[in-house]
Amino acid sequence: MRILITGCDGQVGGELKPALAPLGEVVAVNRCQMDLTSAESIRACIRAVQPHLIVNAAAYTAVDKAESEPELAQRVNGEAFAIMAEEARNIGAAIFHYSTDYVFDGSKPTPYIESDAPNPLSVYGSTKLAGEQALAAAGIPHLILRTSWVYGVRGKNFLRTILKLAAEKPELRIVADQFGAPTWSRDIATATASIAARWRAGDPAEYTGVYHLPRWGETSWYGFAAEALRLRALAHPEAPCARLLPISTAEYPTPAARPKNSRLDCSKLSQAFDIRLPDWSASLTAVLQELE
């Protein structure tokens, strides 16, 4: 199997190459090698590589900036997939694509399942939903893996920001009324590899669709930060560490609105692919060790 990974410089994309390597020949491309704002670039790259599977980790992910750049976000997160899917169809390739909890408005009192109606609150969420819809309409074998609160050892993410600020400031105010599951980018890559192995062995048409891929368990941004700083203090009791103050979403206004409930039920994925991800806090410990 030849696998094309897009967005290989990103948090998830950077973890995918080693995770997918045991499954076949892996070609990993960055923005220079495949620019999702350019139909020509998308077509040329796919025609050159001739993959059996495209794993798309490239995306416009600047949630707040998207509010002032809606056209660009829509081109990258929405329109690019119609082109990618057309090329995939021409060569008989499948697509695995990542999407987000931000397709939901967060008003549901319980975790979201795949068939719940999306209702994005932000430009980012709307464009990611457009990408899902473009892929679903393309009539090719595909998986849409919705994940949440991605972090890891590389790139810009909540964990790395909190660790930096906690060493610099006396106090940090963190939102405590948005709930979800922090998800380590490497866990996403590992799960993607397991799914791809099962997919290859079975009937792709049977598996095509949307799946939720969050960590097991849930917390708030405040809970995530508190656990990260608790673990960091255990390892470095002498290091300066900010005091955390829980605040409400209303006290931390941002250009893009976020769902208060970002919890995704991942039972469908567990049942289809026999995958059960462990609790988010176990991965946090591993990431902190790697960041040492």
Note the residues at the interface with ligand NAP (CB under 6 A). Answer: 7, 9-13, 31, 34-37, 57-61, 76, 98, 100, 128, 147-150, 155, 185
Distance of CA 19 to the CA centre of its chain: 16
Nearest to 59 by CA among 116, 8, 111: 8
Q: How far apart are CA 49 and CA 34, in angstroms?
A: 11
Strands 179-180 and 219-220: antiparallel
Residue closer to ligand NAP (CB basis): 122 or 208: 122
- The residue from 124, 151, 211, 222 that is catalytic is 124
Residue closer to ligand NAP (CB basis): 13 or 118: 13
Q: How far apart are CA 220 and CA 241, in angstroms?
A: 20
CB of 31 to ligand NAP, least distance (A): 4
Residue closer to ligand NAP (CB basis): 147 or 283: 147
Say whether 211 is catalytic.
no
CB of 101 to ligand NAP, least distance (A): 6
Annotate 28-42 with DSSP letters as a single string. Answer: EE-TTTS-TT-HHHH
CB of 23 to ligand NAP, least distance (A): 19
160-193 residues labelled b (16+ CB within 10 A) or e (exposed): bebbeebeeeeebebbbbbbbbbbbbbbbbbbbb
Residue closer to ligand NAP (CB basis): 6 or 241: 6
CB of 201 to ligand NAP, least distance (A): 25
Tokens of 251: 């006290």
Catalytic residue annotation: 124
